[in-house]
Amino acid sequence: MKLALVVALAGTLCLVWGDALGNTCASFDLPDPEVVDGEGRIIEIERRVLWGESYCKELTLDQLNGKTPKLCVRNENPKDKAPTGCLRLSLRHVDPAMIKELRVGIHPDCSSIPTEVKDKFQRRRNATKLTPGKKMGAIRICFDEIPAASTCCETEQCLVFEAIVEVAGVDTKVTIKDDACSSDEGCPYSIGCPNLINEANKDCVPGCALDIWNGTNSNDLFIVSEDEVNDAYLGLFKGYDVVIGSEGTEIINNEYYGGDGSTLFLKGGNDEVQMGPEEEKIYFGKGDDFAESIADGLQDRIYGGEGVNQAKGTFDIDDILKNMALGQ
């Protein structure tokens, strides 16, 4: 009886305590991962993970040295084959020496952003408080800082950003300039909870020197580690898929399946992508890379990076190709 009362009291206290402290995106359990791959084989996936959208937005700042300044949002580089749970926001084409202050916040809803600066922006960085040797080009925010009343898995949140940049000797407040954002500078920001696939999960036929990584028919996050000996062959299947590649070779097959889109960060190595009928963003790095496209009526973006890069197949007129030569 006494024990039950203590447990009940502790439960109530926890609820009150939880409310007082405020729950965050990191407070809620994520759904169980998928149990079969896109071929219907049973595979072991340990868990889902929170993963933020990647995008770049223009700023209320004129061109600097002929380039358009942008804010780019990325998930931090994974550590130990898993996401860190934090996002990194960096200013492109702005000299870090010009940046006086950076502020970022993410809230559940663009219509109810707190007005007080300290509540509106969960993270703030000021140039006057920098440790020596550090630069002001970027700021981070983590899922355990984003207030949440329920799970953030597959939700659209609201991102707010401000910077103070010294332009021609004058401290200037800079915000995001984008049609998709609301007047008080809130931008829609999606948070997903893909299956984390961080190891090969299917044997290749004997004598084959590829490691096969099969995805599921839902959203997957593939993280290929740098210590892979063989080339990695990845089948993404359906869903919205993200691949964090390695400095080695990734061969991506998206040709037959299609899905809700994919974003591929393939880094170095001679990487190859057979593109599918979906909206694809491909960031190749160093190395001689190859993409084969099909015209699907959706805007794809293919960035070749360094090296001799080639694109083949059919394209839509609004596809963006950078550092990619068109082959036959």
What are the residues binding Ca ion (CB under 5 A)? 215, 220, 237, 239, 241, 245, 250, 266-267, 269, 271, 284, 287, 289, 304-305, 307, 309
Minimum CB separation of residue 104 from Ca ion in Å reads 30
Q: Which two tokens stand for residue 5?
A: 């009362």
The C-alpha atoms of residue 57 and residue 70 are separated, in whole angstroms, by 5
Q: Indicate the residue among 75 and 249 with the shorter CB distance to Ca ion.
A: 249
The C-alpha atoms of residue 229 and residue 145 are separated, in whole angstroms, by 38
The C-alpha atoms of residue 306 and residue 284 are separated, in whole angstroms, by 8
Write down the residue that tokens 């009940």 correspond to.
8
Measure CA 110 to chain center: 20
Q: Indicate the residue among 85 and 285 with the shorter CB distance to Ca ion.
A: 285
Measure CA 120 to chain center: 22
Minimum CB separation of residue 308 from Ca ion in Å reads 8
Q: Indicate the residue among 192 and 305 with the shorter CB distance to Ca ion.
A: 305
Residue 135: C-alpha distances to residues 95, 96, 175, 226 (Å): 10, 6, 20, 27
Minimum CB separation of residue 327 from Ca ion in Å reads 14
Q: Indicate the residue among 3 and 229 with the shorter CB distance to Ca ion.
A: 229
Q: Indicate the residue among 145 and 278 with the shorter CB distance to Ca ion.
A: 278
Q: Indicate the residue among 78 and 96 with the shorter CB distance to Ca ion.
A: 78
Minimum CB separation of residue 257 from Ca ion in Å reads 8
* DSSP annotation string for 95-138: -GGGEEEEEEEEES-GGG--SSHHHH-SEEEEGGGPPTT--SSE
The C-alpha atoms of residue 236 and residue 242 are separated, in whole angstroms, by 9
Minimum CB separation of residue 128 from Ca ion in Å reads 40
Minimum CB separation of residue 44 from Ca ion in Å reads 16
